[in-house]
Amino acid sequence: MLHSNIVGGSTAKRVINCPGSVALVQKMPPKPSNEHADRGTLLHNVIAEHLEGKPITLGVKYNDQVLTQDLVDEKLTPALKALDEVDPTQNMVYEVETRVGFGDLLPNVFGSTDLIGRVGNRAVVLDWKFGDGVVVDAVENPQLMFYAAAAMRTPEAAWAFDGADEIECIIVQPPMIRRWVTTKERIAAFELELVSAVKQAQMPNAKLMAGDHCRWCNAKPICPVMNGAVDRALKTTLDGIDTITMSQMLQSADLLEQWLKDIRALAHDVLDKGGKVPGYKLVAKRSTRQWADEKAAVEFLGDKAFKQELVSPAQAEKLLKTKLPAELVVSISSGNTMASEDDPRPGVVLIGQQLTAALSKIV
Note the pLDDT tens digit of each residue in 233-290.
Answer: 666 665 667 777 777 667 667 777 777 788 787 888 888 888 888 888 888 888 888 9
Q: Are strands 93-101 and 65-66 parallel, antiparallel or unpaired?
A: unpaired
Helices (H), 170-242: 184-201, 224-235
Please give the domain boundaries of the chain with CATH numbers for all domains: 9-201 (3.90.320), 212-272 (no CATH)
At residue 77, the pLDDT reads 94
Separation of alpha carbons 57 and 55, rounded Å? 6
Rounded to whole angstroms, how far apart are CA atoms 156 and 92?
Answer: 17
Phi/psi at 20 (nearest 5 deg)? -65, -15
Neighbour count for residue 145 (Cβ, 10 Å): 25
Closest CA to 221 of 3, 8, 29, 33: 29
Is 354 or 122 the better-scoring residue by pLDDT? 122
Average pLDDT over residues 126-135: 88
User: Which band of pLDDT confidence, cut at 50, 70 and 90, is reported for residue 29?
Assistant: confident
- DSSP string across 88-134: TTS--EEEEEEEEE-TTSSTT-EEEEEEEEEETTEEEEEEE---SSS
Q: Sheet containing 110-119: give its strands across.
A: 93-101, 110-119, 122-128, 166-173, 176-182
- Which of the pair, 243 or 12, is modelled with greater confidence? 12
Q: Which helix (H) or strand (E) holds 317?
A: helix 313-320
Per-residue confidence band for 232, with pLDDT thresholds at 50, 70 and 90: low
